[in-house]
A and B are shown apart, each in its own frame.
Chain A
Amino acid sequence: MLGLAFAKGGGFVPPSTADFNLPPAIGNNPYTTKPIFLVLLSVVLISVFFIAASRKALVVPSKFQFAGESIYGFVRNSIGEEIIGHEFMRFVPFLFTLFTFILTNNVFGIIPLLQFPAMSHVSFPYVLAGFSFVIFHWVGIKKQGLGKYLKGIAFMPGVPKAVYILLTPIEVATFFLVRPLTLSLRLFANMFAGHLLLLVFIMGGDHLIRGVIGLKIIAPFAFAFGIGMTFFEFMVQCLQAYIFTLLTALFIAGALADEH
């Protein structure tokens, strides 16, 4: 892409959505693009890391074991236990999978050579949000029964009857449309915007350094900003994995509560 921007000759071509549509790696098969390989790689990496970290569990943990356990402890205690409450243990495997999977795929965005967050393709967040959508509704229906659960959503108790004209459509739309949509779009848009931001600085710097001597002097600043933004991106990537898991836990907690 970097060469392409210059090869056209003349003006700077700003990065666009076209930069995210990477061509298939093998022939014309659309299932062999880079994001798909990255997702598979993330599954392998996570499995190998946590199996290796938990295989020889000692009372005094090694550094490796400690790293694995502190990630697990973070999800279990500060997301699971604090948000969901006493029934949290059932949901820890799901939350933990969600957190590590999103985190790994996001961080791929700044790891040299990989440098592409798979979550910047909207289909991956859609699937993840679909999972948490199905799970939190399933949990609510199983806990309260279908009729009572839907009644609790549509007709919130303790509200004057006339307000239901306004409140019912809003509540139904919130639970069945806004929640899964914002959950997926937030993750997607963050990764998309972050990758675009890095592209602007790196491609801009690349363009400047090939320019006249006056522009060459500015180029290092563009690259320095690109590096600074990379660290900022790392923070955003961790934060988004946390927020996605946190919101899923909140939805589950809301479905488990008798009245919300």
Chain B
Amino acid sequence: MKGTLNLVGYGLSAIGPAIATGMIFAAYISGVARQPEARSVLQPIAFLGFALAEALALFGLVLAFVL
């Protein structure tokens, strides 16, 4: 089986975005819980942050295949 070490590296690099995504949605949920009417304002911000954090994980995935 080839490329195993790459995948280990990818697993390590995915830790950061995983924590980041968790924190973003934790903040979003507590924000909505405190102020339900702020939902429509917070939603695009939360998804934007999620997309930015997730992009890092996906770059890692692409690199795991490319390298």
Chain A positions near chain B (C-beta within 8 angstroms): 14, 17, 78, 82-83, 182, 185-186, 189-190, 192-193, 239, 242-243, 246-247, 250
Contacts and interface: CB of A to CB of B under 8 A. Distances in A.
B59 A242 contact: no
A246 B58 contact: no
The residue in A17, A182, A189 that gathers the most chain B C-beta atoms within 10 A of its C-beta is: A189
A189 B58 contact: yes
A189 B54 CA distance: 10
B54 A17 contact: no
11 contacts: A14-B1, A82-B44, A83-B44, A182-B52, A182-B55, A189-B59, A189-B62, A190-B54, A192-B61, A246-B48, A247-B48
Contact of A193 (B44, B51, B61): B61
A186 B55 contact: yes
Interface of B: 1, 40, 44, 47-48, 50-52, 54-55, 58-59, 61-62, 65
Contacts, number: 40
Given A182-B55, A186-B51, 11 more contacts: A14-B1, A17-B65, A82-B40, A185-B62, A186-B58, A189-B59, A189-B61, A190-B54, A193-B58, A242-B47, A243-B48
B61 A243 contact: no
B20 to A, nearest CB: 15
A130 to B, nearest CB: 18
7 shortest interchain CB distances as A-B pairs? A189-B58, A243-B51, A186-B55, A182-B55, A189-B62, A193-B61, A189-B61
Nearest to A250: B48
A41 to B, nearest CB: 26
Contacts of B52: 182
Contacts of A190: 54, 58
A186 B53 CA distance: 11
A243 B58 contact: no
B1 to A, nearest CB: 7
A83 B48 CA distance: 12
B44 A185 contact: no
A247 B58 CA distance: 17
A186 B48 CA distance: 12
Nearest to A249: B44
A177 to B, nearest CB: 14
B51 A185 contact: no
A239 B50 CA distance: 11
A246 B44 CA distance: 8
B54 to A, nearest CB: 7
Contacts of A246: 44, 47-48, 51
B58 to A, nearest CB: 4
Contacts of B50: 243
A186 B62 contact: no
The residue in B1, B40, B55, B61 that gathers the most chain A C-beta atoms within 10 A of its C-beta is: B55
